[in-house]
């Protein structure tokens, strides 16, 4: 049976949902984790729960290349040799049709979901390559494949990430860095609360959903594959979801 060694994993969007579940599962598997997010209190709570020797936390807005770069440059020695990147940070804002979506919401989605992935990948890539076993996991969405009402900007950003990951793999396949895109369906996270602005209006309230841990387990499975194998993409949805949100 294949046995993998301890990894040092950089996880964005680690303060809740899939990112937080990833941090916990990776540490339980024996990895070290750098957990990035914008909410210091939540990061500190996660570090207290999992142990400072297992997780290093950094307050970072992935929309800022400078913040991402500083977060990497400030890593303590035990966490500096990053070999795995989980591009998880992302969000959807608004439940209305495109004509009612304001420019600030559009910009926030594009900068977070698209530029955040580019910023983290560009900063981490030299470390991933030098490790000899680098792996990039991009958390996309089934919205990248299946159009749905009110998807517009968010779905387009996830399609961007999906195609960026697929094309990046063609460049890195011969350089010892694997790339996996993981596309979840409806998930029981804060995603819908952030999207709607308040829980009562969440569009998918009451519908069957994945748990954050389900998606984290799929990410860990992809990372766990032997070096000669690569999971190009994983599409994970609730068994009864018909690939539409509305």
Q: Which sequence positions are flagged as catalytic?
A: 154
Token duo for residue 19: 């990112």
Nearest to 54, CA basis, from 76, 38, 74, 30: 30
Strand partners, 210: 187
Q: Which residues contact 142 (CB under 8 A, 6 or more apart)?
A: 183, 184, 185, 235, 237, 243
Token duo for residue 54: 């297992």
Strand partners, 58: 36
Between CA 209 and CA 56, with CA 61 as vertex, the angle to 5 degrees is 85
DSSP letter, residue 119: H
How buried is residue 7: exposed, middle or buried, by Cβ count under 10 Å (0-12/13-18/19+)?
buried
Nearest to 7, CA basis, from 71, 75, 84, 72: 84
Nearest to 25, CA basis, from 9, 2, 12, 1: 9
Gap between the Cα atoms of 38 and 124, Å rounded: 19
């Amino acid at each position: 049976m294949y046995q993998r060694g301890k990894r040092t994993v950089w996880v964005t969007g680690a303060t809740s949902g899939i990112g937080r579940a990833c941090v916990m599962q990776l540490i339980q598997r024996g990895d070290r984790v750098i957990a990035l997010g914008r909410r210091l209190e939540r990061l500190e709570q996660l570090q207290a729960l999992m142990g400072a020797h297992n997780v290093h936390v950094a307050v970072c807005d992935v929309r800022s290349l400078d913040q991402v770069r500083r977060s990497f440059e400030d890593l303590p020695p035990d966490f500096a040799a990053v070999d795995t990147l989980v591009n998880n940070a992302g969000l959807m804002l608004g439940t209305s049709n495109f004509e009612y979506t304001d420019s600030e919401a559009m910009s926030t989605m594009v900068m977070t979901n698209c530029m955040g992935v580019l910023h983290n990948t560009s900063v981490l890539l030299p470390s991933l390559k030098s490790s000899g076993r680098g792996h990039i996991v991009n958390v996309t969405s089934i919205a990248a494949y299946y159009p749905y009402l009110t998807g517009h900007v968010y779905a387009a950003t996830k399609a961007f990430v999906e195609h960026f990951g697929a094309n990046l793999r063609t460049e890195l396949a011969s350089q010892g860095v694997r790339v996996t895109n993981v596309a979840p369906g409806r998930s029981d996270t804060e995603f819908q609360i952030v999207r709607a602005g308040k829980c009562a209006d969440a569009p998918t309230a009451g519908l069957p959903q994945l748990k954050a841990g389900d998606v984290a387990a799929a990410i860990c499975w992809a990372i766990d594959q032997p070096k000669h194998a690569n999971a190009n993409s994983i599409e994970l949805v609730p068994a009864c979801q018909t690939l539409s949100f509305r």
